[in-house]
Amino acid sequence: MHLLVDGYGMSIGKHSERVQIKKNGEVTAEAPLLEIDQITLATRGAVISTDLIEACVKNGIQINFLEFNGQPLAKLTSPCLSGTVITRRKQMEAYHNHLGTFLSKQFVRGKLTNQLYLIKYFAKYRKSTDGLAFQELQNRCQNIANNIREIERVSNLPIDEIRGQLLSIEGRAGREYWSAVKVLVKNKVSDFPGREHRGATDLLNSMLNYGYGILYSQVWGALLLAGLEPFAGFMHVDRPGKPSLVLDFIEEFRQPVVDHAIIAGLKNMEGKGHSADGGLSVAIRREIACKVEERLDSVFRYKNNKLTLRSILQKQARQLAAFFREETRYRPFTGGW
């Protein structure tokens, strides 16, 4: 269970072996500690008790703190969850050999394939209702498919020498993808200017950024549990305070988790919009969190099994750790359509 707390005047504490959430002294929700794997506080107006923090650390429960716009603020976790040092040593070595190059291509391929699948999924509903939109979406899909094939033509030189080529492919595919998204949402939002990251003020980009913030915490937690170093990435360059591997690994999950949840749920979010200060309203933040959690609990086929996206995310992180130890190949998760 992922426990997400949003809203002012909330307090989160421990009672016996249960987590209790209170508002104005009244218990509004509670759950057994043994059923919780993460707690996320997406508000500045909440208080968490030190005895609950201690219990979470001892039980391996991660605590995430998000800013009002969904950007991760902090993560509290036990120092005993970092796995074996061998995995991290191998992760560092991979940056300088063929493994880092192979992995970078896989990350880009996974992202672009999921972009392609998401457009195809939503496009099929336009075929009989809007022929012109359907044809434009098909053209965008063809261009992204060409970008995917282009990845194979990138040489197997060290990642520092080919990063620019991969970023170019990723950027061109991204322009096709977000142009397609603009077609998909044209009757649902009126002011989508294309993809904007931090500082976005339009409704759709604000919702996407908030959803990515929730997913970001899940990805970071999965990498830690797999014994990986979140700050040692490949496609994203090293910078102080930048968790590059988190940013690499999240790419193959953005579309099946957040983009799908928000595009499909836009019609249910009408009228909830922005708050008085220009940020997302509490109602819409809760709606986004609910939709993202629903997607994480959705079942997909994964290596001849049916698993939730939440479980797949953790298994992919463990596959990544095994890849660094040269125990298996790494294949990105693609959600199908």
* Closest among 243, 254, 223, 235 to 111, alpha carbons compared: 254
Considering the domain architecture, whether residues 162 and 34 belong to the same structural domain is answered as: no
Considering the domain architecture, whether residues 105 and 192 belong to the same structural domain is answered as: yes
Whether the Cβ atoms of residue 228 and residue 83 lie closer than 8 Å to each other: yes
Q: Record the tokens describing residue 101, joined without a space.
A: 């190059």
- pLDDT of 128 reads 84
- The model's pLDDT over 105-117, given as tens digits with 9 standing for 90+, comes to 999 999 999 999 9
- pLDDT of 275 reads 53
Q: Record the tokens describing residue 138, joined without a space.
A: 């098909």
Considering the domain architecture, whether residues 146 and 8 belong to the same structural domain is answered as: no
Domain extent, residue 152, equals 85-324
Considering the domain architecture, whether residues 61 and 153 belong to the same structural domain is answered as: no
Q: Specify if 115 maps to a domain.
A: yes
What gap in Å lies between CA 172 and CA 149, rounded to an integer? 13
Considering the domain architecture, whether residues 55 and 95 belong to the same structural domain is answered as: no
Of the chain, the end-to-end C-alpha distance in Å amounts to 27
What gap in Å lies between CA 113 and CA 115, rounded to an integer? 5
Considering the domain architecture, whether residues 59 and 89 belong to the same structural domain is answered as: no
- pLDDT of 276 reads 46
Split into its structural domains, the chain has a count of: 2
Q: Specify if 78 maps to a domain.
A: no
Considering the domain architecture, whether residues 214 and 261 belong to the same structural domain is answered as: yes
Considering the domain architecture, whether residues 112 and 175 belong to the same structural domain is answered as: yes
Query: For residue 250, what is the domain's CATH number?
Result: 1.20.120.920
Mean pLDDT per 10-residue interval, the chain, length 337 residues: 81 89 87 87 85 88 82 79 80 95 97 97 90 95 98 95 97 97 88 82 90 92 91 92 94 96 82 60 88 93 92 96 96 90
Give me the residue label for tokens 């019609």.
267
* Closest among 199, 184, 317, 327 to 262, alpha carbons compared: 184
Considering the domain architecture, whether residues 287 and 157 belong to the same structural domain is answered as: yes
Which three-class secondary structure string do you get for the chain? CEEEECCCCEEEEEECCEEEEEECCEEEEEEEHHHCCEEEECCCCEEECHHHHHHHHHCCCEEEEECCCCCEEEEECCHHHCCCHHHHHHHHHHCCCHHHHHHHHHHHHHHHHHHHHHHHHHHCCCCCCCHHHHHHHHHHHHHHHHHHHHHCCCCCCCHHHHHHHHHHHHHHHHHHHHHHHHHHCCCCCCCCCCCCCCCCCCHHHHHHHHHHHHHHHHHHHHHHHCCCCCCCCCCCCCCCCCCHHHHHHCHHHHHHHHHHHHHHHHHHCCCCCECCCCCECHHHHHHHHHHHHHHHCCEEEECCEEEEHHHHHHHHHHHHHHHHCCCCCCCCCCCCC
